Structure 1
Amino acid sequence: MDLSAVHAALSSKYYSVLASLCDDLLLQAASRGAATDDWPYAVHLLAHLFLNDLNSARFLWKSTPQEAKDARPEIAAVWRIGQCLWIRDYAGVYTIAQGFEWGPEMADFVAAFLEIYRKRIFQLLTSAYSTINVADVVHFMGMNEENATNCMFPETILLQ
């Protein structure tokens, strides 16, 4: 199976195209009856999380062969991030993403995911709160108190 387009998108950091690219390639492989033993399930799963598409991520997880889940810890780690997103465990997303030893192909992608996730949470907080305490910012944004205190929240008052 030719995964060069996936590897090119990863190396070029075109993360926003990976979900549809992987979906299309996996469908093509399935239609030809090709083996998917070397399929980049962790990349594919994270690509859906990157786009905040939890339903597609859940479907992919359920359709991922158990052998692949058991053999590749990165797939399970990405799914744990997805579970945290599903139940809105904001701090858990950062804990899992930063606490796992990602391979070289995934490390930059996970960092980019955390960056876009932190931006989403920042937008959510600035639109939802007129006052917020530092502990809540620490929890939602996955940062320490010093960074949370220095974080720019326009028209939002940080309470100690």
Structure 2
Amino acid sequence: MDLPPLSREQLAAVVASAQSPTELYSTLSEYESEACLLSTSDATQAELLSLYYSTFFFSHLLTDQICEARLSTKRMPQDLLQNDPSLQNCLNLLRAVWQRKYEQVYTILRALPWSEPLKPIVQSYDAHFQEKTLKELSRAYEAIRPAAAATYLGLDPASVEQGDPATMQKFIACGWTWEEETGLLHPKPIIEAPQDDTKLYNELSEVMALVGSRRV
């Protein structure tokens, strides 16, 4: 079935109707050949290209295709990539994710300016990255200091150091245990169930609903 022509309205419709990150990525992939025909010298088309490539970039990250995300930046119009604020933010985010600079990832997602159409997918990736990191921590550590765990998950390490019970409760709610004598948290490995392809912005687990409410 032929897709409607690429436009800001169509991009918004694609994001809103996607039943999963995989579906979003697949649909946006079909628009890449059309995007290649647009000109960056036309201001309206350049704005559309910025929104399309930024959204397509995040669809790579939401499906954990980090290498493919790097390759996608090579296919973008390089003059637009070097001068467009949203695409520059995407490049900075890619570097931080690739280099596993957790604090920087959250700072880029939460502190840098993102256009209004991109904010929902930026927030979705924030939650996705946090959930993914939580699962990695649960498998990698038998014990971890609360402030370090908070930093990995984009929570406030200072509040943990001050003994904030609300922040500590977020870890305990994930099944982790707190050993007061040593000052260590003991993660509980999180068993991943088969992922249900529900609405794009509602696919996160109840665990991350508990963990994700506190921001740095």
Q: Distance in 1 between matches of 2:39 and 2:138?
A: 43
Deviations 1:4-36 (A, max 9, x none): 543212234656122222222113555xxx225
Aligned to 1:8: 13
Aligned-partner residue type, residue 6 of structure 1: L
Deviations 1:97-143 (A, max 9, x none): 11111111111111111011111111111122221101211221011
Q: Distance in 2 between matches of 1:104 and 1:155?
A: 36
The answer to whether structure 1 residue 20 and structure 2 residue 26 are counterparts is: yes
Aligned to 1:74: 86
Q: How many residues align?
A: 157
TM-score normalised by length of structure 2:
0.65
Bigger helix fraction: 1
CA contact (8 A) 2:133 2:152 kept: yes
Q: Distance in 2 between matches of 1:75 and 1:22?
A: 16
Q: Distance in 2 between matches of 1:42 and 1:68?
A: 11
Aligned to 2:38: 35
CA contact (8 A) 1:130 1:156 kept: no
The answer to whether structure 1 residue 154 and structure 2 residue 175 are counterparts is: yes
**1:107-146 pair list within 5 angstroms:** 107-144=119-156, 145=160, 146=164
CA contact (8 A) 1:15 1:109 kept: no
Q: Distance in 2 between matches of 1:50 and 1:112?
A: 8
SS at match of 2:86: helix
CA contact (8 A) 1:42 1:78 kept: yes
Name the Cα RMSD after superposition: 2.2
Instruction: Give the Å deviation of 1:64.
Output: 1.2
Deviations 1:77-103 (A, max 9, x none): 022111111111111110111111111
Q: Distance in 1 between matches of 2:27 and 2:16?
A: 14
Aligned-partner residue type, residue 151 of structure 1: K
Q: Rg larger in 1 or in 2?
A: 2
Q: Which has the higher contact order (CA 8 A, sep 6+)?
A: 2
| Identity within the alignment, % | 19
CA contact (8 A) 2:14 2:27 kept: no
Q: Distance in 2 between matches of 1:77 and 1:86?
A: 14
Distance 1:70 1:28, change over 3 A: closer
SS at match of 1:61: helix
Deviations 1:38-81 (A, max 9, x none): 32111111111111111110001112112211332011102211
